[in-house]
């Protein structure tokens, strides 16, 4: 279970549920009943699948691979800026010592 008691479903489970709607022709309500989940969940999954099949269910954090890459690059950028600032301060400190 996730936040506020929301169950977490695997990507494979979601694709299988969507396949029942799209390929098997079952209604979203029927799939929801059979799988014991809400119709809203099925509806959201079908919508996400139709929008972008390859990245319909990115998983943890609900991020696409591009969003995850941006997050990682921003983190690396912050770390590099901190290192640069430390080196600037160290350079200034040692420059004072030499004088």
Assess whether 69 and 56 both reside in one domain: no
User: What is the CATH classification number for the domain harbouring 13?
Assistant: 1.10.10
Q: Given this model, what pLDDT does residue 3 score?
A: 55
Q: Given this model, what pLDDT does residue 7 score?
A: 75
Using the CB atoms, write b or e for 59-97: b if 16+ within 10 Å: eeeeeeeeeeeeeeeeeeeeeeeeeeeeeeeeeeeeeee
Q: Given this model, what pLDDT does residue 57 score?
A: 72
Q: Given this model, what pLDDT does residue 38 score?
A: 94
Assess whether 55 and 78 both reside in one domain: no
Assess whether 21 and 51 both reside in one domain: yes
Rg of the Cα trace of the chain? 24
Assess whether 97 and 73 both reside in one domain: yes
Q: Which domain holds residue 17?
A: 1-60
Assess whether 51 and 12 both reside in one domain: yes
Q: How far apart are CA 26 and CA 5, in angstroms?
A: 28
Assess whether 19 and 56 both reside in one domain: yes
Over the chain (99 residues), what is each successive 10-residue block's mean pLDDT? 68 89 92 93 90 69 74 93 94 84
| Structure-block tokens of residue 18 | 């969507």
Q: Given this model, what pLDDT does residue 62 score?
A: 61
Contact 71, 63 (CB under 8 A): yes
């Amino acid at each position: 279970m996730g936040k506020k008691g929301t169950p977490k479903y695997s990507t494979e489970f979601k694709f299988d549920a969507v396949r029942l709607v799209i390929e098997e022709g079952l209604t979203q309500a029927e799939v929801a009943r059979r799988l014991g989940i809400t119709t809203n969940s099925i509806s959201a999954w079908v919508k996400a699948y139709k929008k972008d099949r390859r990245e319909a269910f990115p998983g943890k954090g609900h991020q696409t691979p591009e969003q995850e890459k941006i997050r990682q690059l921003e983190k690396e950028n912050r770390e590099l800026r901190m290192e640069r600032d430390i080196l600037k301060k160290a350079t200034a400190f040692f420059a004072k010592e030499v004088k």
